[in-house]
């Protein structure tokens, strides 16, 4: 077979960060090539380079060569990529909801009335809508879908949108390579399964396909070859013919390192169950929790793992009432009222969101102001002249407290009046923790505490979390997409899959067990199959 797309030594840096290090990738005509890797492994950046995403040019371009049918090409813009015969189906649909399915599919290459075209020129000519509809219908039929193409895309079900998106890409003449970025993320199992033969059919027509998915079993099912990316490098290039292509091999290649030693010094005395989630559901777009039922004991550190889109992030947001929720959360057998965030805080439950810079900190303000803010608003601490809402902040006691916090957490800063925005990511996270600790919470929910911080800061944040837990008996719920993090500090880890608690594992469980659970599979299932 001949290669249609060949990437040679592709490297890319964003500022000082090298996100892709000399990546090679070859896609043959008619091949389905799997591309897998953890979050942040560089998959999206690689796809963006191939498709000429403007963000790549704006951040200084890339190095390395892209060869299409053996000729060196450079993608300066998405238009270049499309003209060269590349197509991409996006993870989040790139459809215009106000246009019909036919209009979406034929967008940019509409059929024109020949007379009007001669009279008014290419861009002003009247669109032959009947022909557009017929052609769009024909493309959809090629995909095995019978759909009224005059329905507006906004009104279509999610799975149908996926087909329309696919139809738009394959409807183009001269399509050479089709990139599918998480095409099944929005689909349920059955629909995802139905998509597989379609992709295979496309491959049979000689189109090279790059298939990106978190669902490893899908990748294994249809891909001829699989490239595994980790930290911007190709760590494995597995071939279906080799026979060593199985779930364990891929999962191991993805995660790479075996997880480091336990840092938790013995299990802290875990108390009685005091908090219960009962059929808790959160309607957060893209991170929906369908059913979360769990009991939480006083003083434990609970990890919540899961791939993006499977609902782990929604836990903290739902608890605070940022999105509509169903079901119940009981604290000391009394139902938690989360209609208003202050009522949740009054129950000594504190949440530090994953969007640290925009939701966890006031970046333009000083450390002092950040650290005492929530406690002053909520616990009426650090105030003088107690006049209710008109009380003034007591800067003296605030400053003292902030200085003690800086010491306790080991925050590196010029002084407590430095702007938080000037600190490094790790130190910012510690300021967040200091702000939470000032509230003396009983339950602390942290989301992605180590996202975007370097290795050293990561250890320091763990140390702080463990100290909060040990010295204050605070129950900690740590939500993270980094398994190594969770295994290092948590007593037990629940794995979320499709919005439900899929498995509860201990930090001693094997890596393979974790990566299977993340993909919605159990060790036994896999062995059986």
Partner 1 sequence: MPLLKRNAPQFFVFFFLVAMAVATLFVGDMPLAGLVGDALVRLFMNGVMVLSLVPMLSAGVGVNYGLPIGLLAGLLGMCVAVNYRLGGIAGFAGAILVAVLIGLIFGYAYARVSRRVKGHEEITGLFVGCSAVFIMCFFWNVAPFTNPEMLWIIGGGGLRPTIGLESTFGKVLNDLGTFNVGGIQIPLAGLSFFGALCLLLSLYLHTRSGRAMAAVGESETFAFFSGINVGKYKTIAVVQSTVIAAVGICVYAQSYGFIELYNAPLMMAFPAASAILLGGSTGKRASVIHVLVGTSLFQTAYVFSGPLANSLLVPELSEILRVIISSSIILYALIYAGEGKSA
Q: What is the DSSP string of 184-227?
A: TTTS-HHHHHHHHHHHHHHHHTT-EEEEE-S-HHHHHHH-SEEE
Instruction: Kindly list the distances between the CA atom of residue 353 and the CA atoms of 59, 379, 380, 394, 454, in Å, as whole numbers in the listed order.
Output: 28, 20, 23, 27, 19
Q: Three-class SS of residue 94?
A: coil
**Does residue 77 touch partner 1 according to CB under 8 A?**
no
Shortest CB 393 distance to partner 1, Å: 7
Taking a C-beta distance cutoff of 8 angstroms, is the pair 274, 332 a contact?
yes
**Does residue 397 touch partner 1 according to CB under 8 A?**
no
Q: Residues near 108 by Cβ (< 8 Å), separated by ≥ 6?
A: none
**Does residue 527 touch partner 1 according to CB under 8 A?**
no
Size of interface with partner 1, in residues (CB under 8 A): 33
**Does residue 378 touch partner 1 according to CB under 8 A?**
yes
Shortest CB 421 distance to partner 1, Å: 11
DSSP 421: G
Shortest CB 264 distance to partner 1, Å: 27
Q: Which stretch binds partner 1 (CB under 8 A): 45-53, 244-252, 337-345, 399-407?
A: 337-345
**Does residue 345 touch partner 1 according to CB under 8 A?**
yes
Distance CA 491, CA 483 (A): 13
Taking a C-beta distance cutoff of 8 angstroms, is the pair 497, 310 a contact?
yes
**Does residue 365 touch partner 1 according to CB under 8 A?**
yes
Among 322, 330, 484, 523, binds partner 1 (CB under 8 A): 322
- For residues 176 and 435, which CB has a smaller minimum distance to partner 1 in the complex? 435
Distance CA 183, CA 88 (A): 10
- For residues 57 and 111, which CB has a smaller minimum distance to partner 1 in the complex? 57
Taking a C-beta distance cutoff of 8 angstroms, is the pair 200, 31 a contact?
no
Among 62, 351, 401, 462, binds partner 1 (CB under 8 A): 351
**Does residue 514 touch partner 1 according to CB under 8 A?**
no
- For residues 113 and 378, which CB has a smaller minimum distance to partner 1 in the complex? 378
**Does residue 392 touch partner 1 according to CB under 8 A?**
yes
Q: Which residues pair with 445 in a beta bridge?
A: 351, 477
Among 299, 360, 449, 499, binds partner 1 (CB under 8 A): 360
- CB burial readout 270-290, b (16+ within 10 A) else e: eeeebbbbeebbbebeebbbb
- For residues 165 and 369, which CB has a smaller minimum distance to partner 1 in the complex? 369
Among 120, 138, 158, 346, binds partner 1 (CB under 8 A): 346
**Does residue 302 touch partner 1 according to CB under 8 A?**
no
Binding site for partner 1 (CB under 8 A): 320, 322, 340-342, 344-346, 351-353, 355, 358-365, 369, 373-374, 376-378, 383, 387, 389-393
């Amino acid at each position: 077979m001949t290669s249609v797309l060949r990437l040679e030594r592709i490297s890319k840096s964003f500022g000082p960060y090298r996100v892709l290090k000399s990546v090679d990738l070859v896609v043959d005509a008619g091949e389905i090539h799997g591309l897998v890797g953890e979050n942040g492994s560089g998959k999206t950046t690689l796809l963006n380079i191939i498709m000429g995403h403007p963000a790549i040019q704006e951040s200084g371009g890339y190095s390395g060569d892209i060869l299409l049918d053996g000729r060196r090409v450079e993608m300066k813009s998405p238009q270049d990529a499309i003209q060269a015969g590349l197509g991409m189906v996006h993870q989040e649909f790139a459809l215009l909801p106000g246009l019909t399915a036919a209009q979406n599919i034929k967008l940019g290459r509409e059929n024109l009335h020949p007379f009007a075209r001669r009279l008014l020129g290419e861009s002003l000519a009247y669109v032959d809508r009947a022909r557009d509809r017929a052609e769009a219908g024909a493309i959809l039929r090629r995909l095995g879908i019978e759909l009224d193409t005059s329905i507006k895309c906004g009104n279509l079900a999610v799975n149908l949108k996926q087909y329309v998106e696919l139809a738009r890409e394959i409807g183009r003449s001269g399509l050479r390579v089709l990139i599918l970025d998480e095409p099944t993320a929005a689909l349920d199992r059955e629909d995802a399964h139905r998509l597989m033969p379609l992709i295979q059919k496309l491959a049979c027509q000689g189109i090279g396909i790059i298939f990106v998915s978190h669902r490893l079993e899908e990748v294994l099912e249809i891909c001829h070859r699989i490239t595994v990316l980790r930290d911007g490098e190709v760590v494995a290039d597995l071939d279906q013919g080799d026979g060593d292509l199985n779930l364990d091999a891929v999962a191991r290649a993805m995660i790479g390192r075996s997880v480091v030693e336990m840092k938790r010094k013995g299990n802290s005395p875990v108390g009685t169950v005091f908090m219960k989630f009962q059929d808790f559901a959160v309607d957060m777009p893209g991170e929906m929790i369908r059913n979360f039922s769990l009991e939480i004991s006083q003083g434990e550190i609970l990890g919540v793992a899961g791939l993006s889109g499977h609902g782990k992030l929604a836990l903290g947001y739902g608890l605070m009432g940022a999105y509509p929720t169903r079901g119940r959360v009981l604290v000391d057998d009394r139902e938690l009222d989360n209609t208003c965030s202050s009522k949740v805080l009054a129950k000594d439950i504190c949440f530090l969101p994953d969007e640290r810079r925009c939701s966890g900190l006031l970046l333009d303000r000083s450390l002092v102001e950040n650290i005492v803010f929530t406690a002053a608003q909520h616990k009426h601490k650090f105030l003088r002249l107690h006049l209710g809402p008109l009380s003034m902040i007591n800067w003296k006691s605030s400053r003292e407290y902030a200085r003690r916090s800086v010491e306790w957490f080991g925050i590196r800063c010029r002084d407590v009046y430095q702007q938080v925005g000037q600190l490094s990511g790790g130190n910012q996270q510690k300021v967040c923790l200091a702000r939470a600790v000032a509230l003396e919470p009983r339950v602390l929910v942290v989301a992605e505490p180590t996202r975007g911080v370097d290795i050293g800061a990561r250890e320091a944040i763990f140390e702080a979390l463990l100290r909060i837990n040990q010295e204050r008996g605070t129950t900690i719920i740590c939500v993270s997409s980094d398994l190594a993090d969770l295994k290092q500090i948590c007593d037990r880890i629940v794995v979320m899959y499709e919005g439900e608690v899929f498995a509860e594992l201990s930090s001693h469980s094997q890596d393979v067990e974790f990566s299977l659970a993340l993909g919605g599979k159990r060790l036994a299932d896999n062995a059986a199959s």
